[in-house]
Amino acid sequence: MKSLFVTGTDTGIGKTTVACALVRAFNAHGAPALGMKPVASGCRQTPAGLRNDDAERLIAAGPHALSYSDVNPYAFAAPIAPHVAAADAGVDISLATIARAYAQLRAQAGMIIVEGAGGWMAPLSDPLMQRDLVCALDLDVVIVVGLRLGCINHALLTTRAVLADGCRVAGWIANRIDPHMLRAEDSIATLRARIDAPLLGVLAHAASEEQARDALAEGIAPLIAPGIGDVAP
């Protein structure tokens, strides 16, 4: 099984909670997993340098301490689109740099959960898109669908875009971000009928990482192929 790239139907729909839950769930299944956030904006300044809350959550979800620069090689202070933040900082985001950091993590675990920035079509830099990162690292895609009015359109457009970019959808996860959404189950049923990939789980509103882990436990089981727990050479 390939490592996974977590994207979403929008920003703010729970990608980090899902990514952390996936790290925890794979480890709970005996399949060593680590998290990665290659490009992050909205970071805070610390004595050790810029740090991102999402990246730190991914580190905490894993089984042991990691080098921050391996988990988040590109960190930007401004809470704006990453390609704009990178341009403002005069930084060229390099796939080779990300790939080196990924290789450091991949040497320690059989599964890496890579969290994207924003949605699938959000640029990483002026020339780079999410697709370029997924293809460079040979990842499969998990789509987080934020359950709210309009999510059917957003989910199907995202799925179509991922497939049109030549990438594989390993599955999708429904996250109840709007506790007042009407007919949420009907929306889930509609998406199950139209997305040719398994529903890995449905997360309760404001679920904790542990609750999300439990909600995904059954869904991820088929993704754990023989040998996935082995550390890559």
State how far the Cα of 113 lies from the Cα of 5, in Å rounded to an integer: 6
Kindly state the tokens that stand for 162: 């991922």
Give me 178's structure tokens: 């709007």
Among this protein's residues, is 37 annotated catalytic? Answer: yes
Who's near 53: CB < 8 A, 6+ residues apart?
44
Residue 181 confidence (pLDDT): 97
Q: What percent of the chain has pLDDT over 70?
A: 96
Are 88 and 78 in contact, with CB atoms under 8 Å apart? yes
The pLDDT of residue 38 is 98
Domain ranges of the chain: 4-223
Residues for the chain: how many in total? 233
Q: Given this model, what pLDDT does residue 228 score? A: 42
Q: Tell me how far apart the alpha carbons of residues 8 and 115 are, in angstroms, rounded to a whole number.
A: 10
pLDDT above 90: residue 231: no
| pLDDT score, position 1 | 63
pLDDT at position 226 over 80: no
Name the average pLDDT for the chain: 95
The values of phi and psi at residue 145, to 5°, are -105, 115
Q: What is the DSSP letter of 204?
A: P
Predicted local distance difference test score (pLDDT) of residue 225? 63
- Which pLDDT score is estimated for 58? 98
Give domain 4-223's CATH architecture: 3-Layer(aba) Sandwich (3.40)
Neighbours of 91 (CB within 10 A): 13
* Statement: residue 105 has pLDDT above 70: yes
- The per-residue b/e assignment along 68-88, b for 16 or more CB within 10 angstroms, e otherwise, is bebbbbbbbeeeebbbebbee
Q: Is 0.75 topped by the overall pTM?
A: yes
Q: pLDDT digit string (tens) for 1-57?
A: 689 999 999 999 999 999 999 999 999 999 999 999 999 999 999 999 999 999 999
Q: Give the model's pLDDT for residue 122.
A: 95
Catalytic pick from 13, 21, 33, 37? 37
Judged by average pLDDT, the poorest of 67-71, 145-149, 200-204, 225-229 is: 225-229
Q: Rounded to whole angstroms, how far apart are CA atoms 200 and 212?
A: 11
